[in-house]
Amino acid sequence: MSSTALPKRVALHRNPTTDSSVPSSVTASPFDSPRHSPSSTSLSSMASDAGKESQDQGKMLDTYGNEFKIPDFTIKQIRDAIPAHCYERSAVTSLYYVFRDISILAAVFYVYYNYVTPENIPSMPARVALWTLYTVVQGLVATGVWVLAHECGHQAFSPSKTLNDTVGWICHSALLVPYFSWKISHGKHHKATGNIARDMVFVPKTRDQFATRVGKAVHELGELMEETPILTALNLVLQQLFGWPMYLLTNVTGHNNHERQPEGRGKGKSNGYFGGVNHFNPGSPLYEAKDAKLIALSDLGLFITGSTLYYLGTNFGWMNLLVWYGIPYLWVNHWLVAITYLQHTDPTLAHYQPEAWNFARGAACTIDRDFGFVGRNILHGIIETHVLHHYVSTIPFYNADEASEAIKKVMGEHYKTDAQTGWTGFFKALWNSSRVCHWVEPTEGATGEHANVLFYRNTNGIGVPPAKMAAK
């Protein structure tokens, strides 16, 4: 398989005396430095050079000033490039990974419950350190179980829909995830990835929305002072702690155009507290009337798990339950939010207004990253092969590497990756995207279809400046 070379990491800072597309300075710190486009393969793109009509619509520039061209390959080209055996799903193989992960969770708990005790380890600091390690390990392995249930939701687990949904419901319910409710809304995310009006996960804020959030007029955004690192860190902590439950409860990060969705149940409903949009109510505008039984079944799974946890807390102590299950559960939430955020948030990614969107374009609005041994062996490659997953979500994770290599030849420059950076690169990307990806807008001067292709801009003086807008 061909290797993927990463370009140099260069930070672009605004300079009022230069053209917005020209980098003005370079910073030496890799922690804060954005990258040039992480487009990956040495093969040329399938997209043809833009014609005169395209040129007349103006250039499209990502956050770093790299020129963007709209993908023109088709889903058929993508699917045809993937070897036929990559589509094959094995119930035996998938069940092996479920039993493997659950066995690890049980074995770790058994060892700690029986041996990391005051009788065996009298030192309180030593026990605290060891039980802290327990929560980290259990959180990672449980996230792997979450990923396997995610495979079930996409019918990538096995050829049997009944087996897929049974395993998915059990595994997700055990992690307090409403399986069918999530499955339905997540399927809509896949059908509308990159569509700013219909996507369901980490939909970027528009300029108007971001201005409202920070209490500024739209035209003032280019003049704001730099966001402090402390504020960035605080926003990250809140996102990582509360992002997942808030998504389930209020649809935060999902689209807020419910009245215009085909389900026809969104009148008067909006994201936020008491807005009527959540993953637990069969009447939520996220679902159709025919989904009601599945939503109720999801809620039943949560009730069973909640009842079990109540029994454990009552009989074994709530502090014990917090350490055994509660803190690992928070780790699962953290990893889930971080992974999803970084799959869909990067300064090199475009987003589309509905007028310019199609499935092939939208599926390219995601990026593969790298989390080293943990990503490959515990998290089942969900971080490393996500682009492929958005084109063909029924391919099982154990065939995803080969299929990913195949589609790179079709996608060319439109395949985005942050590979070969390991777990440290993953955390650097988390920080960098938080600093750089504040809102999306068209490239200044773009017209026609190009004006419906949106890119991240920020108030921190990094990359291409926001478009200049006159006060109204």
Task: From 158, 206, 149, select the one nearest 178 (Cα to Cα).
Answer: 149
DSSP 195-256: BTTT--SSPPPBHHHHHHHHT--GGGGGGPPPPPHHHHHHHHHHHHHHHHHHHHHH-TTS--
Q: Is residue 239 part of a domain?
A: yes
Please give the structure tokens belonging to residue 245: 């439950």
Summarize the confidence of residues 289-312 as an average pLDDT.
97
Three-state DSSP class for residue 441 = strand
- Say what the pLDDT of residue 384 is: 96
- Say what the pLDDT of residue 273 is: 86
Summarize the confidence of residues 9-14 as an average pLDDT.
39
Q: Which residues contact 40 (CB under 8 A, 6 or more apart)?
A: 4, 5, 408, 415, 416, 417, 419
Q: Phi then psi for 276, rounded to 5 degrees? A: 85, 5
Q: Is residue 362 part of a domain?
A: yes
Domain that holds residue 327: 75-457
- Say what the pLDDT of residue 95 is: 98
Task: From 235, 239, 150, 234, select the one nearest 186 (Cα to Cα).
Answer: 150
pLDDT at 4 over 60: no
Is residue 72 a contact partner of residue 47, using CB atoms and an 8 Å limit?
Answer: yes
**pLDDT, tens digit (0-9, with 9 covering 90-100), for 225-247:** 678 899 899 999 999 999 999 99
**pLDDT, tens digit (0-9, with 9 covering 90-100), for 387-442:** 999 999 999 999 999 999 999 999 999 999 998 788 899 999 999 999 999 999 99
| Counted domains in the chain | 1
Q: Is residue 28 part of a domain?
A: no
- Say what the pLDDT of residue 448 is: 95
Task: From 36, 134, 156, 152, select the one nearest 88 (Cα to Cα).
Answer: 156
- Say what the pLDDT of residue 32 is: 35
- Say what the pLDDT of residue 400 is: 98
Is residue 453 a contact partner of residue 460, using CB atoms and an 8 Å limit?
Answer: no
Q: Is residue 43 part of a domain?
A: no
**pLDDT, tens digit (0-9, with 9 covering 90-100), for 48-67:** 444 555 568 899 999 999 99
Summarize the confidence of residues 77-88 as an average pLDDT.
98
- Say what the pLDDT of residue 248 is: 92
- Say what the pLDDT of residue 225 is: 67
Q: Is residue 48 part of a domain?
A: no
Q: Is residue 49 part of a domain?
A: no
Among the listed ranges 143-147, 260-264, 318-322, 370-374, which one has the minimum average pLDDT value?
A: 260-264
- Say what the pLDDT of residue 468 is: 87
pLDDT at 461 over 60: yes
Summarize the confidence of residues 15-30 as an average pLDDT.
32
pLDDT at 303 over 70: yes
- Say what the pLDDT of residue 264 is: 77
**pLDDT, tens digit (0-9, with 9 covering 90-100), for 156-203:** 999 999 999 999 999 999 999 999 999 999 999 999 999 999 999 999
Summarize the confidence of residues 82-109 as an average pLDDT.
98
pLDDT at 154 over 70: yes
Please give the structure tokens belonging to residue 125: 């600091």
pLDDT at 18 over 90: no
Average pLDDT, the chain: 88
- Say what the pLDDT of residue 40 is: 41
Q: Is residue 184 part of a domain?
A: yes
- Say what the pLDDT of residue 31 is: 32
pTM, rounded to two decimals: 0.86
Q: Is residue 462 part of a domain?
A: no
